[in-house]
Amino acid sequence: MQIYAQDCRMLTGEPFNLRALRGQVLLIVNVASRCRFTPQLAELDQLYRRYRDQGFTVLAFPCNQFAHQAPEEGEAFESFCSRSYNTTFPLMEKVKVNGAHAHPLFRLLRQQAPGMLGSTPIKWNFTKFLVGRDGQVIRRFGPSVPAARMEEAIKLALDIPFSA
């Protein structure tokens, strides 16, 4: 349950109670506004709207570590996401995901779900971590993986029967 013990903040700077999401399936994503993967924000929001009533939440953390593709701060980033992609999931504080100053949540996620060939650094924006109801990372998805390819794993984590 270490994931729920991490301190997080919303884009507005106010504390976010991650413990309140205990028992939910989470998709934690480092996002950017000026990346070729930015249109995934709309796909992520569709997943969130489709499954939130079954206990699913998307948490998006802007990250400016990759080619400075998330330069906006706070409300400017939130306004961009809302205006351009009609996002409704929680937008968290801007963080670093790699290096000495990486947010502790992302250090934990990287340890629980290494990438290709066991490497732990996050390679680019829109790396996604699917976290089960028990707070353990189920799977790490690379930046190019679209929402449609994650949906089966999300439904499995939510224990939703597959349609024929």
CATH classification at residue 133: 3.40.30.10
pLDDT band at 163 (very low <50, low <70, confident <90, very high): low
CA-to-CA distance for 88 and 59, rounded, in angstroms?
Answer: 10
According to DSSP, the β-strands at 137-141 and 25-31 are unpaired
Q: Is residue 120 part of a domain?
A: yes
Examine the residue annotation and report whether 35 is marked as an active-site residue of this protein.
yes
Its pTM stands at 0.95
Q: Are 122 and 30 in contact (CB under 8 A)?
A: yes
Catalytic residue among 8, 35, 63, 81: 35
At residue 6, the pLDDT reads 92
Mean pLDDT in residue range 73-89? 93
CA pair distance 89, 28, nearest whole angstrom: 11
Would 164 be classed as within a structural domain? no
Structure tokens at 70: 């998330």
Strand order through the sheet with 25-31: 56-62, 25-31, 128-131, 137-141
Residue 107 located in a structural domain = yes
* Separation between Cα atoms, residue 58 and residue 130, nearest integer Å: 9
Domain that holds residue 137: 2-158
Q: Is residue 163 part of a domain?
A: no
Q: Say if 26 falls within a structural domain.
A: yes
What does the block give as tokens for 115?
A: 């990438």
In a domain? residue 119: yes
In this structure, is residue 103 part of a structural domain?
yes
* Rounded Cα gap, residues 100 and 96, in angstroms: 9
> What pLDDT, in 10s, does the model give residues 97-133?
999 999 999 999 999 998 777 778 999 999 999 999 9
φ, ψ for residue 44, nearest 5 deg: -65, -40
- Structural domains counted in the chain: 1
Residue 72, domain member (yes or no): yes
